[in-house]
Structure 1
């Protein structure tokens, strides 16, 4: 999700790079035919990752019913402004940097969080439109399945090329599977399982965000490796 180098760990970026490779998330992501664009825009990756991680962490803590919490409504504001708007802006800033993967992923998950939050806003009328709770659960289940498919598509772009992002998207995929299954079966234990994988996903996203933030700061005394393989 950022314009870093394909080496394990982080090293300085060279002006000479393969013309069919777009730098993304510390690994070469082959999503364009031309070279990545150069721009003066700073790396928005840490901002997007921290917003994604924090919103995912809060919702997942609610899903495992931490301290007896069974309602998710507090996450609505976070989902609109942090996981939603802030992450969407990060995606828009990735486009002029030539990072198609980062732009698509951040923008998509930003849209996910804003649309998810809208479901729980009473004035949207979405939940009120379903008189049958089972119908609502099935509708949300299908919604989550759609985002599971999107996540799997993103996973195809990084698998075997970047360890950190492969683990992140794999964990997120499992979380979506559990949460969708929980809606279809109305099994609270499956919801908790989805929450556990969501918490794992959040901490992996935090790790990647810190890694990219440290790499962006020239004064950082150490870097956190993301791990990458060659083509």
Structure 2
């Protein structure tokens, strides 16, 4: 018996993460100031649901890193969506800052796990933990400059994540190896 070929869930998770991060980061950077509610649908479905699904599929495929990363960031986007809707009641900027710093710590630890993967994941997680810390400290201290810096770093994070995911799709369609580069310790 031959095993049925399964699709790689990583490009879906990375694309959902990248698009949602790009849109929110545009607001965090101060490039757009009105209409930020547009992020909510993305957070619920593409950033949230799509990543949760990608995480479950990574779990089913035996990829612990992919499972933990996609499921965690999918849950982050669902938290963002519900928090923005006010489901959890009165949320302060300092409370949000604490959550963002906690995600920064998580992401820093996950970044260490990318040291032997590929340059795409390494760069995405490097930029992401910096983004979380900038946004978190900016929220805790009500420092708009740090929030804007986090927004710009988030835009770079989204570009890195999109490249990492979509180069896999294009490479597979061309029957080529994805040009993701070598991580520092690989």
**Which of 60, 78, 84 does residue 120 from structure 1 map onto?**
84
Q: 1:62, 1:71 within 8 Å by CA — same for their partners in 2? A: no
**Which of 146, 164, 168 does residue 102 from structure 2 map onto?**
146
The reply to whether residue 180 of structure 1 matches residue 136 of structure 2 is yes
The reply to whether residue 192 of structure 1 matches residue 148 of structure 2 is yes
Q: Deviations over 1:19-48 (max 9, x none)?
A: xxxxxxxxxxxxxxxxxxx76431111111
Change (3 A) 1:222 1:42: closer
Change (3 A) 1:160 1:97: closer
Change (3 A) 1:64 1:148: same
The reply to whether residue 84 of structure 1 matches residue 40 of structure 2 is no
Structure 2, unpaired ranges of 5+: none
* TM-score, structure 2 as length reference: 0.90
The reply to whether residue 64 of structure 1 matches residue 29 of structure 2 is yes
The reply to whether residue 99 of structure 1 matches residue 63 of structure 2 is yes
**C-alpha displacement of 1:184:** 1.2
Question: What is the aligned partner in structure 2 of residue 209 from structure 1?
Answer: 165
* TM-score, structure 1 as length reference: 0.73
The reply to whether residue 168 of structure 1 matches residue 124 of structure 2 is yes
Q: 2:82, 2:88 within 8 Å by CA — same for their partners in 1? A: no
Q: 2:172, 2:178 within 8 Å by CA — same for their partners in 1? A: no
Corresponding pairs, count: 183
Q: Deviations over 1:167-200 (max 9, x none)?
A: 1101011111110011111111111100000000
**C-alpha displacement of 1:152:** 1.1
Question: What is the aligned partner in structure 1 of residue 181 from structure 2?
Answer: 227
> Which structure has the bigger radius of gyration?
1
Per the alignment, in what secondary structure is the counterpart of residue 50 of structure 1? helix
Equivalents in 2 of 1:47, 1:162: separation in Å? 18
Structure 1, unpaired ranges of 5+: 1-37, 131-135
